[in-house]
Amino acid sequence: MPLRKRPWSNSIFWVIISAFFITIFANFTMFAKANTWLIGSGSNQLFIVVLALFQFLLLLFFMALLTMHKWHRHVLAIFYFVAAFSAYFADSYGVIIDKDMLINATETNLAEALGLLSWRLIFYFTFLFALPVFVIYKVKIILQSVSKRIFYHSGVALLALVSFAFILLASSNFSTSFFREQKQIPFYSNPLSALYATYEITHKTFFSSHKLFKHIGDDAHISGLHKDRELVILVIGETARADRFSLNGYKKNTNPMLSKQSVVSFNNVSSCGTSTRISVPCIFSIEGKDKFDLSKFKNEENFLDVAKKSGVNILWRDNNSSSKGVANRFTYEDFLSPRNNPTCDPECRDIGMLSGLDEYINKQKKDDIIIVLHQMGSHGPAYYERVPESYLKFKPFCKTNQLDQCTDEEISNAYDNTILYTDFFLSEVIDFLKKYDDRFETAMFYVSDHGESLGEHNIYLHGMPYFMAPKGVTNVPLILWFGKNLIQTENLDMDLLKLKSNKPISHDNVFHTLLGILEIETGIYKKEKDLKSLAIKK
């Protein structure tokens, strides 16, 4: 069965061209990262060619098989779309489009999406998606008979697979050591990594068994010994890294306000995940980092349910994207829009979440209160937009979301300004609580969901697989403030707690510390994970 004289009228021709085009033009970051390692390790740079062949043949294999039918053009268009999207994020921010990133993208609201819009993004979509797809829809592809299509497409797929295996064997000495040392390289393979992630998500969504809703802490109740009411404000931070707080030893003064409050700042705290979507639910889950599974989380109770069972009044105020499922069964107020938030210029500020809170507290006539404030915090890449003008103190700062157009210093300054604003916000939360010190046992608990990579190893933002995340992403700030009433009744030694603030802890401690502060008694409470117990003299 010979191909027609004009090869471009066959669909398989465009499959081969597309696999080649995407390999060469949409995998710049993968090649650059591999090249850096090859130079650094004194290896032969020619391995880049081998890597390109691997990518080309594997992509060709999948593309040939998936385009046997008459909708082949649409499938190719999807490949180009995913490739353009992933290439933009990989080349601009060094991030990988994996499972978590894809779900993040679908949960991103319009404001966040606009925050990423740029000329560069338009260029990527024109060159890597619109142009090639235009050509493919424009050329005349003659649809062959079913048998011919199956013959050519499976033939090319088979040839690609055999060549792949052959090259792998021929280069096995080097390939094995390369992929062992450079585990993250396959994650940058575009668009294969993103397509694999899509498969993972569909598989989980449609084939995971629907289990019964899981209840936890059914025995929870407030200890009879304690008559005082608790008022706790839990602040869930966004994208804050511990090493940018001067409380933790950062050289710039990013904590002028908090340093005047009697807070205890833990500086060795590891996050559960590297994205909001994982970390926020995980903080409230009983499972902890090792056992946390997002697909199960939606089907089980979390910390707030346990608090509810003990009679605690619960309010969630959100200036982020959402509670990520944590507050689904509780009072939830959106502070991203001026409808609830009085402090918008035009971006709605975290401080607006304190407005009207007095009314809420006064309305709760009995039982304890926990208020969760979910910050916008340091959400990037447009850090400079996160703060009102008066907080743009560290200069010069990066004034674009295109971080590679800014110097390291400008990025740092833009980011540090967001920490400065969070410092002000947290200090205001503490001052707010002080008004209630006589009526309640008050406490402020601040913890960030994950940190941020600010250009270390040329990686920006967050959300990468945990094992390859830089320390800036997984080392998060955690700050505690207890009111005088709580300190007295519980006989807490805050100096002792300060002495222990270097102790390695994690998001796993949040669940049990909150149970401890609210004096909730239940079989699931683990005293050794309650940070408050560190302040009690043995």
CA dist 287 and 283 (Å) reads 9
Mask 60-99, x = binds Zn ion (CB under 5 A)? ----------------------------------------
Q: Token pair for residue 437?
A: 């010190």
Stretch of 73-81, 269-277, 390-398, 403-411 lying at the interface with Zn ion (CB under 5 A) = 269-277
Q: CB–CB of 355/341 below 8 Å?
A: yes
Q: How far is the CB of 474 from Zn ion (least distance, A)?
A: 12
Closer to Zn ion by CB, 91 or 449: give it. 449
Q: Which residue is nearest to Zn ion (CB)?
A: 276
Question: What does the CA dihedral 129, 135, 138, 140 come to, rounded to 10 degrees?
Answer: -130
Q: How far is the CB of 12 from Zn ion (least distance, A)?
A: 44
Q: How far is the CB of 185 from Zn ion (least distance, A)?
A: 26
Q: How far is the CB of 468 from Zn ion (least distance, A)?
A: 18
Closer to Zn ion by CB, 160 or 294: give it. 294
φ and ψ at residue 438, rounded to 5 degrees: -80, -35
Q: How far is the CB of 35 from Zn ion (least distance, A)?
A: 31
Size of the site for Zn ion (CB under 5 A): 3
Q: How far is the CB of 433 from Zn ion (least distance, A)?
A: 24
Instruction: Name the residue type at position 422.
Output: T
Closer to Zn ion by CB, 222 or 414: give it. 414
CA dist 362 and 357 (Å) reads 9
- Applying CB under 5 A, does 501 fall inside the site for Zn ion? no
DSSP calls for 258-322: GGGS--EEE--EE-S-SSHHHHHHHHH-SSHHHH--HHHHTTB--HHHHHHHTT-EEEEEESSS-
Q: Is the peptide bond before 477 cis (omega within 30 degrees of 0)?
A: no
Cβ neighbours of residue 450 closer than 8 Å, sequence gap 6 or more: 239, 271, 273, 274, 275, 276, 279, 462, 473, 474, 476
Element holding 375 (H helix, E strand): none
Closer to Zn ion by CB, 449 or 508: give it. 449
Stretch of 136-144, 240-248, 272-280, 429-437 lying at the interface with Zn ion (CB under 5 A) = 272-280
CA dist 283 and 471 (Å) reads 19
Q: How far is the CB of 320 from Zn ion (least distance, A)?
A: 7
Q: How far is the CB of 397 from Zn ion (least distance, A)?
A: 21
Stretch of 101-109, 383-391, 447-455, 487-495 lying at the interface with Zn ion (CB under 5 A) = 447-455
Instruction: Rule CB under 5 A: choose which of 276, 378, 413, 509 binds Zn ion.
Output: 276
Q: CB–CB of 246/479 below 8 Å?
A: no
SS3 520: strand
Q: How far is the CB of 360 from Zn ion (least distance, A)?
A: 25
Closer to Zn ion by CB, 247 or 283: give it. 283
CA dist 343 and 241 (Å) reads 25
DSSP calls for 151-175: HHHHHHHHHHHHHHHHHHHHTHHHH
Alpha helix ranges (H) inside 71-116: 72-93, 99-107, 110-116
Stretch of 103-111, 273-281, 288-296, 451-459 lying at the interface with Zn ion (CB under 5 A) = 273-281
> Segment 222-241, which members bind Zn ion (CB under 5 A)?
238
Closer to Zn ion by CB, 449 or 519: give it. 449
Q: How far is the CB of 353 from Zn ion (least distance, A)?
A: 16
Q: CB–CB of 195/78 below 8 Å?
A: no
Closer to Zn ion by CB, 67 or 448: give it. 448
Closer to Zn ion by CB, 255 or 448: give it. 448
Closer to Zn ion by CB, 238 or 519: give it. 238
Residue in this structure with the two tokens 């300060």, named with its chain if needed: 498
- Applying CB under 5 A, does 449 fall inside the site for Zn ion? yes
Cβ neighbours of residue 148 closer than 8 Å, sequence gap 6 or more: 1
Closer to Zn ion by CB, 106 or 147: give it. 106
Q: Assign 3-class secondary structure to 410-432.
A: HHHHHHHHHHHHHHHHHHHHHHH
Stretch of 114-122, 197-205, 256-264, 444-452 lying at the interface with Zn ion (CB under 5 A) = 444-452
Closer to Zn ion by CB, 100 or 449: give it. 449
- Applying CB under 5 A, does 519 fall inside the site for Zn ion? no
Q: How far is the CB of 420 from Zn ion (least distance, A)?
A: 19
Query: Which residues of this chain interact with Zn ion, rule CB under 5 A?
Result: 238, 276, 449
